[in-house]
Chain A
Amino acid sequence: KQEVTQIPAALSVPEGENLVLNCSFTDSAIYNLQWFRQDPGKGLTSLLLIQSSQREQTSGRLNASLDKSSGRSTLYIAASQPGDSATYLCAVRRPGTASKLTFGTGTRLQVTL
């Protein structure tokens, strides 16, 4: 059974810092890994999708890496801003039908002024 873990569960950093969020999964047989952002009381916003054959993806100040063989992914946020404050979730897509995702429990990020 696939299990996804995110460390740390919560993180507080001052504005301007670079930071790394970690995601690990137990079964390396995945199709892809997706990072999401969730603001309080809101739905999930997709940030980055990394295919199993890729090593990293970049979007603006965000960079996600994937090491499938070791079951790890990181989300790097450069020059953090207060608007980055949210919960970040990673999810892996299991092989099989219907694109089902297994989610981690998230990292709650607070960027302070």
Chain B
Amino acid sequence: SQTIHQWPATLVQPVGSPLSLECTVEGTSNPNLYWYRQAAGRGLQLLFYSIGIGQISSEVPQNLSASRPQDRQFILSSKKLLLSDSGFYLCAWGQGGRGSPLHFGNGTRLTVT
């Protein structure tokens, strides 16, 4: 069966520090991968998605970047965090095809102080 791992679960970082969140998927190959952010009192916002190694699409301009160095690994990064980067970050995967569901990890709670 397929599983998705996301870490760390919580993170407190000062403004201006770098960020690296990692997500890996097991039990499938060539998944589509996604980073979503859920800010307090707001819905989920798609940040990045990837349909293959090295292929990253950004949905909104921001202080963050994403990379996919391996087929089942997706990394969210920032060189210098802003207060507004605080939120709950969720990684998800899905197979291609119109009927496929998305499956989410347990999320990372990021607090920028």
Give A contacts to B, CB under 8 Å.
4, 31-32, 34, 36, 41-46, 49, 51-52, 89, 91, 93, 97-101, 103-106
User: Does B101 interact with chain A (Cβ within 8 Å)?
Assistant: yes
User: Does B57 interact with chain A (Cβ within 8 Å)?
Assistant: yes
Binds A, one of B11-19, B44-52, B60-68, B73-81: B44-52
Q: How far is the CA of A51 from the CA of B99 in the complex (A)?
A: 6
Q: How far is the CA of A100 from the CA of B102 in the complex (A)?
A: 9
Contact B49 A98 (CB under 8 A): yes
Q: How many A-B residue pairs have CB under 8 A?
A: 65
User: Does B94 interact with chain A (Cβ within 8 Å)?
Assistant: yes
Q: How far is the CA of A97 from the CA of B6 in the complex (A)?
A: 24
Partner of B90, one of A4, A32, A44, A100: A44
User: Does B43 interact with chain A (Cβ within 8 Å)?
Assistant: yes
Contact A31 B101 (CB under 8 A): no
Q: What is the CB-to-nearest-CB distance from A12 to chain B, in angstroms, rounded to a whole number?
A: 19
Contact A103 B32 (CB under 8 A): no
Apart from A42-B106, A42-B107, A44-B90, list 20 A-B contacts with CB within 8 A. Answer: A31-B99, A32-B101, A36-B104, A43-B90, A43-B104, A43-B105, A43-B107, A46-B104, A49-B101, A52-B98, A89-B43, A91-B44, A98-B34, A99-B97, A100-B49, A100-B59, A101-B102, A105-B42, A105-B43, A106-B43
Contact A98 B104 (CB under 8 A): no
CB-CB nearest in chain B for A6: B43
Q: How far is the CA of A93 from the CA of B94 in the complex (A)?
A: 12
CB-CB nearest in chain A for B6: A43
CB-CB nearest in chain B for A31: B98
User: Does B109 interact with chain A (Cβ within 8 Å)?
Assistant: yes
Q: How far is the CA of A43 from the CA of B90 in the complex (A)?
A: 7
CB-CB nearest in chain A for B108: A43
